[in-house]
Structure 1
Amino acid sequence: MRTWQTPLAIDRADPAPLSVQIARALGARIRAGALRPGAPLPSSRALARTLGVHRNTVLAAYGELAAEGWIASDPARATFVSRELPPPPPGAPGRAGPEAGAPAARAGFDLPPAPADATWSTLPPGTLELLGGTPDPRLVPVAALGSAYRRALRRREHLSYGDAAGHPRLRAALARMLGEARGLAVAADGILVTRGAQMALSLAGRALLRSGDGVAVEALGYRPAWESLRLAGLRTVPVPVDARGLQVERLEALAAAGAVRAVYLTPHHQYPTTVTLAPARRLALLEVARRARLLVLEDDYDAEFHYDGRPVPPLASADGAGVVVYVGTLSKVLAPGLRIGWLAGPPDAIERVTAHRRFLDRQGDLAVEAAVAELFEEGEAQRHAWRTRRVYAGRREALAAALRARLPGALSFRMPAGGMALWCRVAPGLDPEAWAARALRAGVAVQPGRLFAHDRRARPFLRLGFGRLDERELAEAVRRLAAALPR
């Protein structure tokens, strides 16, 4: 087996023989766990070349380690770390220590406070996920994407440095899509391609606002976005949400008092309640932002999935004052693993964000971006969006029907016009937190309302996603949810 070069620290001024120094260094690496049992070691010739010593010196070091039981050899595998390591003799050279690369159990410096949600739970195997906003990776057009990616890899420039704003073809394709499907008059130079919408939001917060600025957010909303803003040194200020979306009059009062310099919201399918910002409030919000010179961060995370009535255009499509920066993603329409999101807005603002991106991430994955651009150019992305919209519309109906059949008195909901989840009110007397915990033990994951509350207080709601599961799986998930209902 071909091995990596193994540089070792040897000191020709050290009175210890070079073979002893080599044996000591290799033994220390083995005891520290840097070289694990069964790991191949370089041949004596290769290690001698790396260290600039005679091969016999390395053979002597290997012989000493073999005599102590640390390494072994056979004709087929050459030299390797012994699978059963002996205990180190007291005082033996090469004892593990900090200089030998032994891993420290804790940081040797002071850590700042961790993000509020620094870890993500790993679900037990077999758990059915009724998690809102999660798409089904089984629907991804893998063959078309794979073919486009292979063609992109043949272009060597895709494996080098490129434009920090994103592949020009993808930016052009996104500009066309945003113009045709969402009414945004944006050119390619007004778009920055990022590794997902989360990066887009984080970059915007760092580049377009100052540390300490207040950002109005929906009081029931998307916590990872709030944490991204907080990590950028910003303060999040909650604004209530009702059946018509964000309460703009409360935002206006905050802006008048100088409490906020920006607002982050999800006006199309509000996260998590799924309501759409009312037309009058849309106009009022844009006017408040224009007068107060507020930055509006509009997150349109699942605009492709609208099933009933006409889709509502983004706020950015009516922005004549240059106050809206539009955040989008391909995670829902294609796949989260592709990590493609974007910012669209005034070119000078996008250039400012791109300047920050150059120092944070340098650029995105040009080959992936070129492959996705080809899917847009060939119409495959558009066809896939149309197909998946029909699939998710059917799953929405299936989940609603299963809930009405099995949990008619426990949950109530309004059928959302779009999105990938239902926002369900829990009947009085039922504890959504306890229900969610029992459901997880029964093999189905759901999200209680507290997870979306800015104040972290309990809310009598469950958010149930239908994107990841097919109709049969949805029926089984609801059966488990019903079986877990607290009695």
Structure 2
Amino acid sequence: MTSPVTNSVLGMLSIDRTASKDIYLQIVDQIANAIQRGMLREGSKLPGSRSMSGQLCVHRQTIVAAFRELEAQGWIHISPNRGVFVLSNRSTTVAGTDTITGELAEMGYSARAGFSFKKSNILDNPWSHVNSEFALDDGIPDIRLTQINQLSTFYSANLKRKSNRKKLDRYTNEGSEYFKEQLSNYLHQSRGLRISEQNILVTRSTEMSLYIISKVMLSPQDVVVVGSLSYFATNMIFQESGARMKTVLVDEHGLNTDSIRELCRQEKVRMVYVTSHHHYPTTVALSAQRRVELLALAQEYGFAIVEDDYDYEFRYDQQPILPMASADSHGMVIYVGSFGKTLAPGFRTGFTVAPKDLIIEMRKYLSIIDRQGDIAMELALGEMIAEGEIDRYARKSLKIYEQRRTHLANLLKSKLSEHLQFEPPRGGLAIWTLWKPGINLSQLASRCEKNGLHIPRNMLYQHKNMSGMRIGFGRMDTNEMTMCVDKIQSVLAQL
């Protein structure tokens, strides 16, 4: 059976019946040229003579003659009762064909653009390829805990439902009204947000929400305030918009509001970004007093607060503190998050909660980067909320993550206490560790890589005043955590 690629290439063959060159030689030249360019790969099966004669509207014997000539030149092999196969994409040329260099034949599609374009150092990917047996992360849920079969049942059922077909057969940036209704109820019950469907924009991820916010809210040279240590992806998004990034201290009570007030006195602040529940990367929560102060500062100086819902679902020792957005009565807070983080990545979706007029403007940008949305997924997620599946699964997985947090804390205390210090987090899926001076974390990561443990560079925070590392426990079971810590311990003994 010929491949779709082979058929598409041969479909481009053309016959010039007014040319002086014989038709079979025109076919020979074009097929040989396609082989030289790598468009027909070694081992590819060509259509039979009957099929090609019908396709090109020529006599079958013309195709047979072309095949014989191609075989004589060494381009193809004719196997009786099996078919005609490409031999190789040689770098030599055939009379009458374009000259194709051996370099192009080997390279195939060009590795470099033939024109200039903008390159961004800001958006360089901080994640690196993992070839190691084990890998640390900065706090990712474990897909092995996800009830894939049950999740896929909801998704499949919504695809098959006749009443949903019209919803799937159209482009829309409005999203599923059913899902937005269920999500607004869910956010009201779990986070105290008194909102309606008109206050919600559904996106693919938190990062997409932040990107759209930056497009609507920021102009070049606008001042955006973040923590002195902050989420790298968010920083990249804001910097890409041309904003000037200003950092303020993060202590055991979260973002320092006194520093923000002082900055506001010096220049116009456009936006403050905060992960109020579990600050990234240090995991501390923004205290109640500072939440009140930050809201008051936003009203006084007119800046927007972008409150990230990061890790809100993962709280172990008490109920989560309600977000600032729940107490915002002046429209100063834009609340962003990722719904369903306890589910598999393919079942999650992002959301933005904001005043209606801002949502309307953000939807314009969403329509040009995600025109079709994902209605089927939204319908499935809405049904999971309505049936209580989201809450049931979250409660079940939370117990497992709490056990893993305790296990990693015990490992770090018993095996690495002479090298680092930490406080077990009250929530989230990672532990923030502060390492003793003199330990080069980049060197540690490099040595661990050779020992079968990958430590991504975006987890390392080291300068002259601090050495910190964020170590996730969500994706590893107790045995995997033990082996990873043992590898770190072994490397430290050799430094």
Per the normalisation by structure 2, the TM-score is 0.88
CA distance in 1, matches of 2:475, 2:95: 58
Which residue of structure 2 lines up, in the alignment, with residue 361 of structure 1? 370
Query: Cα deviation per residue 1:275-328 (whole Å; 9 max; x = unaligned)?
Result: 011111111111222222222211112110011123111121111111211111
Residue 472 of structure 1 corresponds to which residue in structure 2? 479
Post-superposition Cα deviations, 1:217-267, rounded to whole Å, max 9, x if no partner, equal 222011111112222333322222122111122223333444431122211
The answer on 1:462 being equivalent to 2:491 is: no
Q: Which residue of 2 aligns with 1:143?
A: 149
The 1:250/1:32 distance shift into structure 2, 3 A limit, reads farther
Q: Residue in 2 aligned with 1:71? A: 76
The alpha carbon displacement at 1:458 in A equals 7.6
Q: Counterpart of 1:351?
A: 360
**1:168 Cα deviation from its structure 2 partner:** 2.3
Equivalences for 1:222-371 in 2 at 5 Å? 222-330=231-339, 332-338=341-347, 340-371=349-380
Cα distance change on mapping 1:26 and 1:221 into 2, 3 Å: farther
SS of equivalent to 2:400: helix
Instruction: Tell whether the 8 Å contact from 1:297 to 1:325 is kept in structure 2 after alignment.
Output: yes
Kept in 2: contact 1:29–1:96 (CA 8 A): no
Which residue matches 2:206? 197
The 1:428–1:176 alpha-carbon spacing in structure 2 relative to 1, beyond 3 Å, is: same
Residue 136 (structure 2) aligned to one of 124, 130, 136:
130
How many residues are treated as equivalent by the alignment?
483
| Residue 106 of structure 1: aligned partner | 112
Q: 1:209 aligns with which of 192, 211, 218?
A: 218
Shift of 1:351: 1.7
The 2-side partners of 1:192 and 1:123 are apart by 34
- Distance 1:108-1:482 versus aligned 2 partners, 3 A rule: same
2:173 is aligned to 164
Distance in 1, Cα, partners of 2:128 & 2:372: 29
What SS does the corresponding residue of 1:484 show, helix, strand or coil?
helix
After superposition, the C-alpha distances for 1:385-426 in whole angstroms (9 at most, x for unaligned) are 111111110100000011111112111101111000010111
SS at match of 2:210: helix
| Other-structure match for 1:400 | 409
CA distance in 1 between partners of 2:108 and 2:279 (Å): 49
| Counterpart for residue 160 of structure 2 | 154
Contact preservation (8 Å) 1:132, 1:464: yes
Of the structure 1 ranges 39-48 and 129-138, higher mean CA displacement relative to structure 2 is found in 39-48
Distance 2:265 2:399 in 1: 44
Is there any run of 5+ residues in structure 1 with no aligned partner, and where? none
Equivalents in 1 of 2:347, 2:86: separation in Å?
A: 39
Q: Is the 8 A contact 1:450 1:458 kept in 2?
A: no
Contact 1:392 1:420 (C-alpha < 8 Å) held by counterparts: yes
In structure 2, how many angstroms separate the alpha carbons of the residues matched to 1:288 and 1:236? 18
Give the AA of the match of 1:130. Answer: L
Aligned-CA RMSD value: 2.9
| Contact 2:337/2:351 (<8 A) preserved | yes
Structure number with greater Rg is 2
User: How many Å apart are 1:154 and its aligned residue?
Assistant: 1.9
Per the TM alignment, residue 107 of structure 1 is displaced from its structure 2 partner at its CA by 1.6
Cα separation, 2, equivalents of 1:279 and 1:77: 77
Task: Name the aligned partner's letter for residue 10 of structure 1.
Answer: S
Normalising by structure 1, we get a TM-score of 0.90
Q: Compute the displacement of 1:184 (Å).
A: 0.8
* 1:391 and 2:400 matched: yes
- The answer on whether the counterparts of 2:53 and 2:63 sit within 8 Å (CA) in structure 1 is yes
Rounded Cα–Cα distance in structure 2 between residues aligned with 1:331 and 1:21 = 60
Distance 1:330 1:186 in 2: 16
Give how far 1:272 is off. 0.1
Determine helix, strand or coil for the equivalent of 1:422.
Answer: strand
Deviations 1:328-364 (A, max 9, x none): 1136311223452111111221121111111112132
SS at match of 2:466: coil
Listed one character per residue, the Cα deviations across residues 115-150 of structure 1 (whole Å, up to 9, x for unaligned) are 4352331111412x3312211111111011111222
Distance 2:406 2:207 in 1: 30
1:27 aligns with 2:32: yes
8 Å CA contact 1:446–1:464 kept in 2: the answer is: no
d(CA) in 1 for partners of 2:192 and 2:383? Answer: 22
The DSSP-based 3-state class of the residue aligned with 1:296 is strand
Runs of at least 4 residues off by over 6 Å? 97-101
Q: How high is the sequence identity, in percent, across the aligned residues?
A: 35
SS in 2 for 1:460: strand
Aligned 8 A contact 1:152 1:370 in 2: yes
- Whether the 8 Å contact between 2:316 and 2:427 is mirrored in structure 1 is yes
Determine the C-alpha separation between the residues in 2 that align with 1:297 and 1:45: 66
Match of 1:264, SS? strand
Unaligned runs of 5+ in 2: none
1:419 aligned to 2:425? no
